[in-house]
Chain A
Amino acid sequence: MFHNIGEMLVLFWRTIRAWRNCWSQRRKILDQMFEIGNASLLMACVLSLFLGGVIALQSGPVLRDRGLVSLLGGLVGLSVAKELAPVMISVLIAGRIGSSMAAEIGSMKVYQEVDALRTMNINPTHYLVLPRMVGILVMLPLLVVLAVLSGWFGGALVAANNAEIALSFDGYFNNLRQVVDVNDVLSGLCKSVAFAAVIGVVSCHQGLITQGGPRGIGRSVTKAVVNSIVLILILDYFLTRLLMIFDR
């Protein structure tokens, strides 16, 4: 395990050092960005819409019973912006995009395409890893922004239309504006950048160490998704603790 973590850190460092190649790899970076956005935008928005909705549905009646329903906008707003949207969208992207990264690079490794790149003096980190890392580092925070908006809207829809909550759009969004500020959204975005790096590094690393045939590729895909999700959840706790220091 420690060997793999070490290899992943080395891969991450090599990718950072290769940033000068971003311009020459721009076509592949744009392809990756389109791939990530196109594949996940609708799903991220729908997921987040229902996420905001279910928080409103669960907590709305409880708050109404205690005469605190006017605070619902802030509650949904904060939980979606700081925690749920970054984590849930990252988990979604780990399953949707991380798996495809590991499968694509893994099959290139198994079928000697990565070796062929090396014989042509083309660095696989520059050619394969850098575009994917930049793509996910740009697109995941963007998806999280859209997911946050979608989640807030989902909460408002439920709050306005559920008879047990019966909180107007205006009442919901007024409280949300009072409670949630830009820093709350930014802290969610900080998390999403870290999660994007985790998904990119774990998935590309798993692809590059793939061995064997189709079974090896399948194993790499599973490991990429599971390891990414586990690391996202562990990192989430420590990042939250760290960001709480800045909140004070």
Chain B
Amino acid sequence: MNPTLEMQPSISLEVRGLRKSFDGQPVLRDVNLFVEPGEVFVVMGPSGSGKSVLLKHMVGLEVPDAGEIRLNGEILHELGSLSQYRVGMVFQSGALLNSLTVGENVGLYLSEHHLGSSAEIAKIVAQKLKIVGLKDIEHKFPSELSGGMKKRVAIARALVIEPQLMLYDEPTAELDPLMAVVIAREILRLNQTTHSTTIIVSHDRELAFGIADRIAIILEGSILVVGTPDEIRSSSNPLVQSFITASVSKDRIDV
């Protein structure tokens, strides 16, 4: 990543012919996507459809069997690392380093890349925590935080990078509906203030239809359809319809 703290323009991301198998079991089958700079793009699909594996490929944590990921037209695996672009990722679990305090976690990128004195880093950490609605928790350890707070700390940690591309893995999973709305609003507000390209993988329909510019539906490792929320709602594909309209009703359960 570019080791400065200045804001950089958002970048495009393209997935071309991506295939991945684990132990002979195909997880991604010829995935093709293009995400515009500054766009909020949600990849939706049921559990086990390959969403998280796709996201890991986008940040270089998995090596594809075939196909490629392009950041601003440059092939990710030819770059060697994410050294040229600033990519922030918020993991489903938060993935905060449990042995570090909240402050150390949020300031980790800055301290490890020597991008400021301790006082400067502490100031930036406080700013980023304030952006996600947290304050005075720098000295707490991740184990002392609730699920929602951990997610917000993880977002603050990603924000410190001043990301050009922000990736979220199931940001509302394991959260109560109220906290899920708070996090969704936070993601949208950050996209509008930082103008970073935002990619979210989720199976949360409300999140997807509430904040996405475009949505892709993935099923068994293949992209079924890509479009705006309205286009997805009006899709004639029965698999898409069954996914976006699935609901539980007492009257419809046969005993």
Contacts and interface: CB of A to CB of B under 8 A. Distances in A.
A122 B87 contact: no
- Chief secondary structure at chain A's binding surface: helix
A107 B82 CA distance: 24
B235 interface: no
A122 B95 contact: no
Contact of B91 (A108, A116, A127): A116
B91 A24 contact: no
Contact of A127 (B87, B96, B112, B161): B112
B109 A120 contact: yes
B97 A113 contact: yes
A104 B97 CA distance: 11
A164 interface: no
A115 B109 contact: no
Contacts of B91: 112, 115-116
Given A24-B114, A127-B112, A121 B82 contact: yes
B109 A122 contact: yes
Contacts of B161: 120
B98 interface: yes
A208 to B, nearest CB: 14
Interface in A1-33: 24
A107 B114 CA distance: 27
A121 B83 contact: yes
Interface in B56-106: 56, 59-61, 81-83, 87-89, 91, 93, 95-99
Contacts of A122: 108-109, 112-113
A119 interface: yes
Contact of A119 (B61, B97, B98): B61
A118 B98 contact: no
Contacts of A113: 95-98
B7 interface: no
Most buried by B among A104, A115, A116: A116
A115 B95 CA distance: 8
A219 to B, nearest CB: 18
Residue picked from A24, A108, A119, most chain B C-beta under 10 Å: A119
A108 to B, nearest CB: 7
Contacts of A24: 114
A104 B100 CA distance: 13
Contact of A118 (B60, B99, B114): B60
A111 interface: yes
A63 B170 CA distance: 73
Contacts of B56: 115
Given A119-B88, A122-B109, A112 B82 contact: no
- Among A24, A104, A108, A115, the one with the most B-chain Cβ atoms within 10 Å of its Cβ is A115
B145 interface: no
Interface string B99-143: 100000000110011100000000000000000000000000000
Given A120-B1, A120-B109, A121-B81, A112 B60 contact: no
Given A120-B109, A120-B112, A108 B93 contact: no
A224 B20 CA distance: 30
A243 B112 CA distance: 41
A115 B82 CA distance: 13
Contacts of B87: 119
Contacts of A111: 93, 95, 98
7 contacts: A115-B91, A116-B91, A116-B95, A119-B87, A121-B1, A121-B81, A122-B112
Interface of B: 1, 56, 59-61, 81-83, 87-89, 91, 93, 95-99, 108-109, 112-114, 157, 161
